Amino acid sequence: MARQRLGQHFLADAGWRDRIAQSIGASRFASSFSPAPPSRTPWIEIGAGHGEMTEHLLSTGLAVTAVELDPRLAAGLRKLAEQHPQLTVVEGDILEVDLEKLLGGQRMRIYGNLPYYITSPILHRLFEHAASIEAIHIVIQKEVAERLVARPGTSDYGYLSVLTQYYSRAEIALEIPREAFQPPPEVTSALVSLRLPGAGAELQVSDEGRFLDFVKVCFAQKRKTLVNNLRALAGREVVRAVFDEMPLRADARAEQLSVGELAELFRRLAKR
């Protein structure tokens, strides 16, 4: 039985499990459907549940570390591990477990059917270890998925878009109907594939933490112009001078700027 407080929606439809496995490169069978490039990189699974997708990950013959918060489900996964020596079960919250220890100094791939209400915190946590992650494949609410892949100039583009695209190359691989889950969520879901690294590898921002804080300020009040949002950081005249240098329109808003333009704006203002 799913626990509502944990946001549990289990992927019950075997057909959809197969399609997801093929899409993320966790299937023994060749596929013409959104094939992922071959990889021998081990897996970390977030919220492994009853092992619905765990067995697909194991079928690759690679090591799998399954992280599960629910003690009842973790117990079932440990039974599965008795049959699969390459499976390690970690009972705990992905937001609190020692990720350095989990990654073990090697590159990993991540798969997770995430509780919708903590998608953003989980991505923040994973991106802190971006250098050790090859790809992140997550099943999330479609509305949030669209924000991750949104382009500048669209209504969905915001801080979460910039964060995701700074660290990864994001695409929506599949839309998954409510009926594929048990119990069904209230919304349509999507499989999003994030392949690392992203735009940040070329932008060479010196202080990523400060840059992301800067981006939050840029998007803090989307109805206001960037000049107004940034005046507390550098002063209106300084911001306008940098806009003239780049050049940017005086009435530009954060959602109109690409990740690269935001990084360049951050660099120029930091020198003032």
pLDDT tens-digit map of 141-175: 999 999 999 999 999 999 999 999 999 999 999 99
Q: What Å distances lie between residue 5 and 29, 73, 129, CA to CA?
A: 36, 15, 28
149 with 250, same domain: the answer is: no
- Does residue 237 sit in the same domain as residue 154? no
Please check the confidence at residue 130 and state whether its pLDDT lies above 80: yes
- Domain holding 185: CATH number? 3.40.50.150
Percentage of the chain exceeding pLDDT 90: 83
CA distance 230 to 218: 7
Least confident of 7-16, 63-72, 156-165, 233-242: 7-16
- 257 pLDDT exceeds 50? yes
CA-based Rg of the chain, rounded to a whole angstrom? 20
pLDDT at 32: 42
Q: Which residues of 84-120 are buried (b: 16+ CB within 10 A; e: fewer)?
A: beebbbbbeebeebebeebbeeeebbbbbbbbbeebb
Q: How confident is the model at residue 235 (pLDDT cuts 50, 70, 90)?
A: confident
Domain stops at, among 168, 198, 228: 198
What average pLDDT is seen over the chain?
92
Query: What are φ and ψ of residue 7, in 5° steps?
Result: 65, 35
Q: How far apart are CA 116 and CA 139, in angstroms?
A: 9
Residue 18 — very low, low, confident or very high, per pLDDT cuts 50/70/90?
very high
Q: Do 174 and 252 belong together in one domain?
A: no
Statement: residue 38 has pLDDT above 70: no
Any idea which of 7-11, 21-25, 248-252, 257-261 has the lowest mean pLDDT?
Answer: 7-11
pLDDT at position 35 over 80: no
Cβ contact 106:44 at 8 Å? no
Give the per-residue pLDDT at 34. Answer: 44
Are 169 and 77 found together in one domain? yes
17 membership: H or E segment, kind and range:
helix 14-24
The two three-digit tokens of residue 84, written as one number: 């699969």
Domain that holds residue 245: 203-270
pLDDT greater than 80 at residue 266: yes
Residue type, 106: Q
Residue 116: which of 3, 13, 6 has the closest Cα? 6
Helix (H, G, I), strand (E, B) or coil at 79: helix
Count CB neighbours of 45 within 10 A: 29
pTM: 0.92
> At 234, is the secondary structure helix, strand, or coil?
helix
Regarding whether 167 and 153 lie in a shared domain, the answer is: yes
| Domain match, 26 and 151 both | yes
Task: Please tell me the total count of domains within the chain.
Answer: 2
Domain match, 116 and 146 both? yes
For 192, the enclosing helix (H) or strand (E) is strand 189-195
Q: What's the pLDDT band for 46 if we cut at 50, 70, 90?
A: very high
46 with 25, same domain: the answer is yes
Are 168 and 136 a contacting pair, CB within 8 Å? Answer: yes
pLDDT at 84 over 80: yes
pLDDT band at 83 (very low <50, low <70, confident <90, very high): very high
Identify the CATH number of the domain in which residue 226 sits: 1.10.8.100
Which position has the token pair 């599949």?
A: 174
User: Percentage of the chain surpassing pLDDT 70?
Assistant: 93
Longest pairwise C-alpha distance within the chain: 67
Q: How far is CA 202 from the centre of its chain?
A: 19
What is the structure's pLDDT at 28? 64
